[in-house]
């Protein structure tokens, strides 16, 4: 497979910053997506990276290093509602299908 | 704004029965993807269609088939259901195939299939 790896779970405090890492196989890489998913609900789009560097969108930022096969999602000013699973997904070659990592379950504590 | 619509939202079937899941993509999206997500697992790609033709195939069992119709909606047909088929089935649509830059997949709310 494409060996997309991310931590299984993380815990952080309300108001803090958390970084969720993702590593992936680089061969055939086309782009990397981050999705947020609450239990039983559909994944919702957070960010997309295809070039090296940082993409910022409000409280969420995502970074990509294509040579290292590495990305992270940075969440600032954490809120209780940010407790969810965060999925790293990679698009390989052409076709547009997404290969998902196993997801990182983030728990935000008061 | 219109989103991806899936029906039904919930479905309960017995073993060896058949089920049909429907997906209505966002207007002007010509690509549809089907994913299966088991309890506590990540979504697994099943199959995709572009302009009514199958464009890619993943870990879809032979008992399942799918198609995309002239109005771009898609149906996933599942036969000889097994207990292990119990999962959330998501449909996603995007405006173009070929994995071009910025092609975000928009997900429907999913169909929760329970096989008893």
Q: What is the pLDDT along chain A (110 residues), one digit of tens a residue?
A: 468 999 999 999 999 999 999 999 998 888 999 999 999 899 999 999 989 999 998 999 999 999 999 999 999 999 999 999 999 999 887 667 889 999 999 999 99
Average pLDDT over residues B9-25: 97
Q: What is the pLDDT of residue A94?
A: 66
What's the half-sphere exposure (Cβ side, CA atoms, 13 Å) at B65? 4
Alpha-carbon gap: A86 to the closest alpha carbon of chain B (Å): 10
Yes or no, beta carbons of A48 and B104 under 8 Å apart: yes
Yes or no, beta carbons of A87 and B55 under 8 Å apart: no
Cα-to-chain-centroid distance, residue A87? 5
* B88 has a chain A CB within 8 A of its CB: yes
* B25 has a chain A CB within 8 A of its CB: no
Q: What is the pLDDT of residue B1?
A: 61
At B28, the pLDDT band (50, 70, 90 cuts) reads confident
Q: Measured at the alpha carbon of residue A49, what is the angle toward residues A5 and A13, in degrees to the nearest 5?
A: 60
């Amino acid at each position: 497979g494409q060996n997309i790896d991310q931590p299984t779970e993380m815990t952080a405090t309300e108001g803090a910053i958390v970084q969720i890492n993702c590593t992936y196989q680089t061969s055939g890489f086309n782009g990397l997506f981050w999705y947020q998913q609450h239990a039983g609900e559909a994944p919702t789009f957070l960010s997309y990276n295809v070039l090296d560097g940082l993409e910022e969108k409000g409280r969420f930022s995502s970074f990509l290093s294509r040579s290292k096969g590495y990305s992270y999602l940075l969440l600032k000013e954490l809120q209780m509602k940010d407790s969810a699973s965060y999925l790293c997904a990679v698009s390989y070659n052409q076709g547009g299908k997404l290969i998902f990592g196993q997801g990182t379950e983030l728990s935000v504590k008061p | 704004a219109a989103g991806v619509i899936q029906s039904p939202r919930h479905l309960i079937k017995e073993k060896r029965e058949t089920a049909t899941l429907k997906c209505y993509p966002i207007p002007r999206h010509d690509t549809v993807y089907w994913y299966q997500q088991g309890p506590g697992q990540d979504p697994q790609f099943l199959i995709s269609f572009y302009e009514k033709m199958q464009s890619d195939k993943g870990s879809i069992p032979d008992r399942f088939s799918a198609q995309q119709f002239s109005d771009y909606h898609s149906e996933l047909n599942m036969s000889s259901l097994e207990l292990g088929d119990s999962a959330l089935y998501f449909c996603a649509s995007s405006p173009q195939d070929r994995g071009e830059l910025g092609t975000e997949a928009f997900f429907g709310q999913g169909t929760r299939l329970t096989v008893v």
